[in-house]
Amino acid sequence: MLHGLLAQGAARVVLCLPRRYSRFPGPVTPPPLPRGVTLLWSETDYGPATKLLPTLRAFPQDDLAYCDDDCLYQPGWLGALCAAARPAEAVAASGWSVDRLKRQGAAPPHGDIAQGFSGVLIRPGMIDPRVFDIPPEARPVDDIWLSGMRALTGTPLRLAPGARAHVTPLDRPAPLQDTTDRARANADAAQCLWERFGLWPPRG
């Protein structure tokens, strides 16, 4: 996966890891990293959002493309994200509307929820600084939380299906994907964003 990211032509490839996982005992031991990958340690385990949050702090003035670690990113993935970019819009290779959660969101053709597995491209200022204060109900579903924090800045999401064609999901270990009722977790995170910030009000 890391070799695939190195081949994309980015200025740098960063792997973010917490010093300790909240769900698993013992210190975190990084895997062998290919030359060119920067390891960025986080003193806090933000759950899946750890893939982005330490990088926001370390490189606040950089454009950032973030993704999950359980997919392969084929040549052309980052280029397709960048080709779809507009100055005031974030880009995701795939996403969906919060209408699915019975909530009011952006009007078509923009999406609401950027799916991290397929890749998301953001520019400085597109994520609300309150992003680091993740409530427990949002930790398992970082796509909802990160998308909400983007929406709070007024940044719309443009979808780039051409980039999705360059993403190959890998088989995920069952203990990591079956511990949460995903639909319920998504709904709980959306409700938290509504209660805290008035974002995505209930539909109807």
Q: How much is the pLDDT for 172?
A: 65
Structure tokens at 158: 């443009």
- pLDDT for residue 31: 86
Token pair belonging to 75 = 């040549």
CA angle 122, 200, 158 (to 5 degrees): 30
- Is 173 within a domain? yes
Whether 47 is covered by a domain: the verdict is: no
Q: In this structure, is residue 56 part of a structural domain? A: no
Specify the pTM: 0.92
Q: Is 186 helix (H, G, I), strand (E, B) or coil?
A: helix
Question: Does 107 map to a domain?
Answer: yes
DSSP state letter for 19: S
Note down pLDDT in tens along the chain; length 204 residues.
Answer: 999 999 999 999 999 999 999 888 888 999 899 999 999 999 999 999 999 999 999 999 999 999 999 999 999 999 999 999 999 999 999 999 999 999 998 766 567 999 999 999 999 999 999 999 999 989 999 999 999 999 999 999 999 999 999 999 987 655 444 445 888 999 999 999 999 999 999 987
Of 61, 56, 71, the C-alpha closest to 16 is 56
What pLDDT is stored for residue 142 in this prediction?
95
Query: Does any domain span residue 157?
Result: yes
Q: Count of domains in the chain?
A: 1
Q: Which residues pair with 157 in a beta bridge?
A: 90, 111
Distance CA(145)–CA(65), nearest Å, equals 17
- Enclosing domain of residue 134: 62-197
d(CA 133, CA 182): 21
Any domain includes 146 = yes
Cα 60 → chain centroid: 16
Tell me whether residue 68 is in a domain. Answer: yes
Is 15 within the bounds of a domain? no
Measured distance CA(77)–CA(168) in Å, rounded: 11
